Amino acid sequence: PMKGRFPIRRTLEYLQKGEVVFKNSVKIMTVNYNTHGDLSEGARKFVFFNIPQIQYKNPWVQIMMFKNMTPSPFLRFYLGDGEQVLVDVEGKDYKEITQHVKKILGKSDKVLEAEALAKMELSNPANFGPKKYFLRECMSEVEGQVPHPGFVPLPKEMTGKYRAKLAAVSDD
Amino acid sequence: MSVKQASVHAKWIIGRVIGTKMKKTTKVRVTRLVLDPYLLKFYNKRKTYFAHDALEQCSVGDVVLLKALLERRSKHVKHELSEIVYKVGQLVDPLTGKKVAGCQFLEPLTESTKNTDVSLTTKLEQLNITASASPPSS
């Protein structure tokens, strides 16, 4: 088993399941919370569970955590045009916080689906080429097609020398 | 290119002030969360930036918001001070607007008690007046 308190947070599957994808205008996210006290319990859980997911999905957003600076916990977002968004988090549950943040500054499901579609359209699985860009390099890699004679010897009827011999015999 | 592009990738940055010993320049440490590829855990990776502030108003330990300059000011200075987010020793709670230190408020949340006493007595007098004036409902 994995080491740590909730090691599921450190799995790729958990990170990829992050819901919040920020809009392009969000540049910085700041979380102020307290280590003790019931009011910032939700904020602490948010930082513990959801910050890895958010940072994984938004690698270009700078996220900073500040502990025990103010008595009340809050989130602060700095957008690209100098605008700031303050979100009060006192007493809220961590799931409520993620839903709220997703509603304010997250890309909606429709936008995400459209982006995924556009990305899929760029790469056509029917094309062949180098492994870096395409799925397969040669038709022989597909199951059910004639494999390369380097790996499996061809049946006698398909070899060039047998066919040449047959043609010579039939001519005579 | 008709639109002038900023010469740096990061347009807005937040960090802590480390040093102010240079003239009109502050040294700011910026931490970003970087994923360790094997442990799959995020760790703070530090980077220092130099920022220009004309009024030299930062002290060591402030949290500061920097904006990217359009052109590099000098070899290392590519950002300028946009605003001091949290000034060390003079923190202001953004939700209430009161001065704060650690987990306690320095200013009292409600107004001072003397004023409330005065207003309470005046309010009671007003109530007496209205009680005597209003006739009993039949």
Q: Compute CA distances A54 → A51, A61, A94, A124, B30, whole Å.
A: 5, 9, 13, 30, 19
Report the Cα B7 to chain-centroid distance in Å: 27
Beta pairing, strands B12-22 & B25-35: antiparallel
Please report the pLDDT score of residue B132 as a whole number.
54
Using a CB-CB cut-off of 8 Å, the residues of chain B touching A36 are: 103
DSSP A125: T
Q: Shortest Cα distance from B118 to chain A (angstroms)?
A: 31
Please report the pLDDT score of residue B4 as a whole number.
59
Residue B2 has pLDDT above 60, yes or no: no
Q: Which of B32, B39, B40 sits opposite A62 (nearest CB)?
A: B32
Residue A134 has pLDDT above 90, yes or no: no
CA B5 to CA B25: how far, in whole Å?
Answer: 23
Q: Compute CA distances A90 → A40, A71, A99, B131, B135, whole Å.
A: 6, 10, 15, 43, 48
The verdict on a CB contact (< 8 Å) between B95 and A27 is no
Interface test mutation site (partner A, options B28, B33, B35, B93, max chain A beta carbons within 10 A): B33
CA B42 to CA A20: how far, in whole Å?
Answer: 17
Mean confidence (pLDDT) of chain A: 91
* Nearest residue of chain B to residue A12 (CA atoms): B40
User: Whole-model pTM?
Assistant: 0.76
Q: Shortest Cα distance from B60 to chain A (angstroms)?
A: 16
Residue B5 has pLDDT above 80, yes or no: no
Length of chain A: 172
Residue A23: closest CA among A143, A126, A155, A115: A115
